[in-house]
Amino acid sequence: GFGRAAHLIISFAAAGICVAGALRRRDGTRVAWLVVALGIVAWNAGDTYWTTVLIDQAEIPVPSSSWRSASANARWAALVAP
């Protein structure tokens, strides 16, 4: 239903806003905005998989968190980017 997809729609919209912000920039912050957007998209990829495939399973496999790890790494890189 809509409840399961609502958070995904909002999160992908946030990634789009970050990309739009990056495209408006001409300085060094453009890369940081793009890395933040990449982190959000990576997080959403894992969340989409969780919402569409794993949520109703009795046993959740551990590797499903790999997208979230990639997302966390991308966000960390955005924090330390010049």
pLDDT for the residue 13: 94
Q: Which residue has the higher pLDDT, 34 or 78?
A: 34
3-class SS letters over 26-81:
CCCHHHHHHHHHHHHHHHHHHHHHHHHHHCCCCCCCHHHHHHHHHHHHHHHHHHHC
Binning pLDDT at 50, 70 and 90, where does residue 60 land?
low
pLDDT for the residue 80: 75
pLDDT for the residue 62: 63
Percent of the chain with pLDDT over 70: 78
Note the pLDDT tens digit of each residue in 15-41: 999 999 999 988 888 988 998 899 999
